Amino acid sequence: MSQHSSRDRQMRQRLAQEAARIMVESGNRDFLIAKRKAATHLSATDTRQLPSNQEIELALREYLRLFRSTTQPHALLLLRQAALTAMKFFQAYEPRLTGPVLTGTADTNTPVTLHVFSDTVEDISFELLEHHIPFETIDKNLHMTADEYAIFPGFRFLAEDIQVEIVVFPRSRHAPTPLSPIDGKPMQRANLAALQALIHKTGTLD
């Protein structure tokens, strides 16, 4: 029984490590997709020992520490600077930075994700059109409560070579904060002042 448990733990660890590698190299931070790809790569598609999102997040941080320590901090800073520029552009819509660029696990391929608040989705598209910024529309399926998901409209565009995703929420003080896919708690979200303070704390670009 103990040997079986040990094999299960080892497989969970290997799957977490492979999922973390896939996320970093692809830039896609969808945990379920990464788990499925990892299981396929390791010929473990029938396993019942898939790692939790928290286990993958830990493996992701370890992967970055081991294999991207010389490049990832600078890439992260570039992404945060791009986020700052985008937040200033959308300042009228109370932008909030969220996701790996905020938490520190972003790397070169990771998009900047902003949550903005508007009475209508069209307000955001008009801003982009007025400034001649090419974009595509997206939908984000976000976990809102333990049992409820909701789809929010959004936009994706490039700021130089950095992908920016804008998710549009109703302008309501009572709107709930989406839950983190990692720990199920309300997502971390930073306003413009908080991001400026974070950049000042972690370093500035030359």
**Residue-averaged pLDDT of the chain:** 92
Whole-angstrom Cα distance, residue 45 to residue 102? Answer: 32
Q: Which of 86, 95, 83, 97 is nearest to 171 (CA)?
A: 95
Q: Which of 26-40, 47-61, 191-205 is the least confident region?
A: 191-205
Kindly report, residue by residue over 143-196, the tens digit of the pLDDT: 999 889 999 999 999 998 999 999 999 998 667 899 999 999 999 999 999 999
Say which DSSP state 91 is in. G
72-202 maps to which CATH number? 3.30.460.10
In whole angstroms, what is the distance from residue 83 CA to residue 101 CA?
8
| Burial degree of 78 (CB within 10 A; 0-12, 13-18, 19+) | middle
- The percent of residues above 70 in pLDDT, for the chain, comes to 95
HSE value, Cβ hemisphere, 13 Å, CA-based, for 99:
25
**What's the CA gap between 71 and 78, in Å, rounded?**
11
Mean pLDDT calculated for residue range 46-64: 91
Backbone conformation region of residue 110, classed left if phi is above 0, alpha if psi is from -120 to 50, else beta: beta
Burial 17-52 (b: 16+ CB within 10 A, else e): bbbbbbbbeeeebebeebbebbbeeeebeeeebbbe
Enumerate the domain spans of the chain.
Answer: 2-67, 72-202
Q: Are β-strands 149-159 and 162-170 bridged in parallel, bridged antiparallel, or unpaired?
A: antiparallel
What is the pLDDT, as a whole number, of residue 206? 39
| Residue linked to tokens 């973390």 | 20
> What is the length of the chain?
206
